[in-house]
A and B are shown apart, each in its own frame.
Chain A
Amino acid sequence: MDENSAARLKRRLTGIVYRIGLFLAMLTICLPGLWIVLSSLRPTVEIMAKPPVWIPQDISFDAYVAMFSGIGKGGIPVIEYFRNSLIISVTSTVIAVAIGMAGGYAFARYRFRGKSSVFLGLMLTRTVPGIALSLPLFFLYVRLGIIDTHFGLILAYVALNVPFTIWLIDGFFRQVPKDLAEAAQIDGCTRWQAFWQVEFPLAGPGIASAAIFAFLTCWNEFALASQLTRSVSAKTLPVGLLDYTAEFTIDWRGMCALAVVMIIPALTLTYIVQKHLVGGLTSGAVKG
């Protein structure tokens, strides 16, 4: 065997090893999701079976039918929860991204006193676990009378997301060369026009990804929502999952079905937005 065929064989073997590794990694990531979908379709006996039943024997959509069939018939107010989730997530995402754009732009473009400490401060807020905040927030909200309202949760989520959106969007604005905004100003733009005509479109993909992250954080958040909402008028989907727990039993099938209902919109949105997440738009602006 000569050197060349040895090298070729080695390359092919490495390829196979990579593929196996990749498959295992994907399996680890996807299996829980798959298991949720499966569990939503099979009876509790099968879910609880030991050893696990890998291949479902008895598939039915009963859980989904029950979910939407109203209180009393095993249903939960899923439409209301969905509406609450949507209102709260979308509103707080829009606000957090707007603030993140303003803040991120300022951090990326301007020098000001205390810049790095403010930035560090923003990051440090992320180190506090949400659950630790839920009790103080609960008392505060009760006093303010905004417990169990959309407004209250939106406020909490904006605060939760703003440091992150600022940090992410700052990074994307930094990648847009300063020269471009200056060129636009020379070409007749005001500062404001230069931003919207040139810098915003170029940082767009980054802003979109910040929006996805913020949205998913809100959509899936449980710790705060479970403390700050009580009733159908404000409870979000993750909190709604608890409706399937009774004093002594947990309806795993129902819970998994609701989880699937939750995942689908998030997945769809992410899929749509990520198409626009084409990076490298700034290439060609400057040399190289």
Chain B
Amino acid sequence: MATVSLKKLTKRYGNVGIVHGIDLDITDREFIALVGPSGCGKSTTLRMIAGLEEISAGSIEIGGRVVNDLPPRSRNISMVFQSYALYPHMTVRENLGFSLKIAGVAKEDMDRRVAEASAILGLDALLDRRPSQLSGGQRQRVAMGRAIVRDPDVFLFDEPLSNLDAKLRTQMRTEIKKLHAKVQSTVIYVTHDQVEAMTLADRIVIMRDGHIEQVGTPEEVFRRPSTRFVAGFIGSPPMNLHEATIDNGQLVFASGEKLPLPGQFKANVTTGDRVVFGLRPDDIYPTGHGISSGGAADVHQIELPITVTEPLGNETLVFVEFNGSDWVSRMLNPKPLKSGERVAMSLDLSQAHLFATDTGKTLRS
């Protein structure tokens, strides 16, 4: 039960800056996901919160208490490592009870708490095994059990699912969500997988090169990405992004193709501005096969050649050629299409995004 707040948190290795003064306030019982490409400083940030890495500047508060120089054991946190880091020389039971043993908890109390955690995670049958006798998913469960036994203020997860296969990952994702509902602790969850972040988190922190690009609910970062980077990172398949120049209320692309400037940006750009135009696959579709087919505000019709189609059953990803490269579009209620065929596409420009080419910032007001 605790808030976590990072103030100008900075990490340098020698002269190399890794985390550049990030600010973040996490409320009690919130599930926060730190997401970003590999190497952007997520793990470093998490490890600083855990106390495994010294901070170069700034401060960290957990539950209103400054913990900058406290060792990990004094911060009342738990951490689940990407590698699980189970103690190989101990049984599952001993792994679960280790922190309690170190804390000098009485035997009966310890047994009870280990039993509780084991029941929550369904580990009862495995208690006398060693980590080497467990499957990946089971190890993952034990690692989580070890974390909850301590009853910490804050749970830290560092890419806990990235060593599991796709199916198990989805399954464990759901379990983590259930677990959070049950234990009601603050969770900071690091992942490079935006789907994981979207599905699990109350709020998502998108990091890039040691900076925070945007903080927001899954809905916010998806609907209103504040930078071009966030727009490209969140969402699958990713947003279509193309550079263009503004010319008298039109977007002119490098190939010479033109689109009308979406109304919501008219006030913020002038002729000659260089921008990045973005449109999600959901907002471009063969006419009659999209989400907003019912009558969206600002639909533009254009005929484009199909390059490839990827049928997924309930929908088909249609790749159309625009401005010299492929645009991904999502076709609902799919019907068979042939490569090379020219089809009428609907572009819902009311959902379009524009970013300044130089700063990458959104041009939405």
Chain A residues close to B by CB (< 8 Å): 177, 179-180, 182-191, 193, 197-198, 201-202, 281-287
Contact = CB atoms under 8 A, between A and B. Distances in A.
A183 B81 contact: yes
A186 B73 contact: yes
Given A187-B99, A189-B102, A284 B86 contact: yes
A188 B130 contact: no
B89 A182 contact: no
B122 interface: no
A286 B83 contact: yes
Interface stretch (B131-139, B242-250, B341-349): B131-139
Interface in B221-261: none
A202 B88 contact: yes
B318 interface: no
Contacts of A286: 83-85
Interface in B276-302: none
Contacts of A177: 83, 85
A284 B131 contact: yes
Interface in B141-200: 146, 150, 163
B343 to A, nearest CB: 46
Given A193-B102, A285-B131, A286-B83, A186 B50 contact: yes
B147 to A, nearest CB: 9
A171 B52 CA distance: 23
A143 B86 CA distance: 55
Contact of A283 (B81, B88, B102): B88
Contacts of A188: 73, 99, 102-103, 150
A285 B85 contact: yes
Given A186-B79, A284-B131, A198 B87 contact: yes
Given A180-B87, A187-B99, A284-B86, 11 more contacts: A177-B85, A179-B85, A182-B85, A183-B86, A185-B51, A186-B73, A189-B73, A202-B88, A285-B83, A285-B86, A285-B88
Given A187-B98, A187-B99, A287 B85 contact: no
B39 interface: no
A190 B103 CA distance: 11
Contacts of B134: 284
A191 B84 CA distance: 19
A194 to B, nearest CB: 9
B73 A281 contact: no
B71 interface: yes
B78 interface: yes
Nearest to B103: A188
A182 B86 CA distance: 11
A186 B83 contact: no
A1 B3 CA distance: 78
A197 B73 CA distance: 15
B77 A284 contact: no
A283 B85 CA distance: 11
Contacts of B150: 187-188
Interface in B103-118: 103
A187 to B, nearest CB: 4
21 contacts: A180-B87, A184-B98, A185-B51, A186-B52, A186-B73, A188-B103, A190-B73, A191-B71, A198-B87, A198-B89, A202-B89, A281-B88, A281-B89, A283-B88, A283-B132, A285-B84, A285-B131, A286-B83, A286-B84, A287-B83, A287-B139
Nearest to A198: B87
A183 B79 contact: yes
Interface in B91-106: 98-99, 102-103
B311 interface: no
Contact of B83 (A179, A190, A193): A179
A200 to B, nearest CB: 10
B52 A284 contact: no
B220 to A, nearest CB: 32
A287 B88 contact: no
Given A180-B85, A187-B102, A202-B88, A287 B163 contact: yes
Contacts of A284: 86, 88, 130-134, 139
